[in-house]
Amino acid sequence: MKVTKQLNPKVLENFRLSGDSQTDIKNRILHIQEDTKKNIQAKKYVVTVNVIGLSITINKNILDLINKVSKYDKNGHPFLYKLTNAELLKAIIQYYLFDNKAITKDNQLDLLDKVKVTCKKNGTDITKMKDDLECLSYWVEEKCQKIIMLYLV
């Protein structure tokens, strides 16, 4: 993760979970940063997210992030969803930057409905494809009201 400008306090607040101190928030951001460094070193495809002066790099293969954003069922197993990369990326962006809500069976559709995504390659809509995402545009309708562009790097 590269912070392109000093963190806007409002952006920092978006990383806060219930009961967090300022240190907790910074540690959470550092954990995301460390994870992405490992992914880059492993030469996996990554997606860079730029929003309000903050740049976060997320591994395109997001299965390793599911546990971070997904709550556990009654048996202690994480929910695993058969979603496309675009859908999972939407949920992860929504979780980290906007609502801090973990994905559950009950709220996954609600989270996905809040952010619309379009993925195109050479003018062809590839939104439902699982591996070939080159450019994603997110329209965040409620909190951010900005366009976030994501590019594979």
Confidence band for 9, pLDDT divided at 50, 70 and 90: low
Confidence band for 1, pLDDT divided at 50, 70 and 90: very low
Query: pLDDT over 90 for what percent of the chain?
Result: 0
Asked if 36 contacts 45 with a C-beta cutoff of 8 angstroms, the reply is: no
Asked if 59 contacts 65 with a C-beta cutoff of 8 angstroms, the reply is: yes
Higher pLDDT: 103 or 144? It is 103
Report the pLDDT averaged over residues 71-89. 50
Q: What is the pLDDT of residues 47-77, one digit of tens each?
A: 444 333 333 444 444 444 444 545 554 555 5
Whole-number pLDDT of residue 25: 62
Residues 6+ apart with CB under 8 A from 124: none
Q: Which amino acid is at 45?
A: Y
Query: pLDDT over 70 for what percent of the chain?
Result: 0
Structural domain containing residue 26: 2-152
String of DSSP letters for the chain: -EESSSPPHHHHHHT--TT--HHHHHHHHHHHHHHHHHHHHTT--EEEEEETTEEEEEES-GGGGHHHHB-B-TTSPBP-----HHHHHHHHHIIIIII-PPB-TTTHHHHHHHEEEEEEETTEE-TT-SS---EEEEEETTTT-SEEEEEE-
Residue 46 has pLDDT above 60, yes or no: no
| Domain total of the chain | 1
Whole-number pLDDT of residue 26: 63
Asked if 7 contacts 54 with a C-beta cutoff of 8 angstroms, the reply is: yes
Angstrom distances, CA of residue 87 to CA of 24, 27, 37: 28, 26, 23
Confidence band for 112, pLDDT divided at 50, 70 and 90: very low
pLDDT, the chain, mean: 47
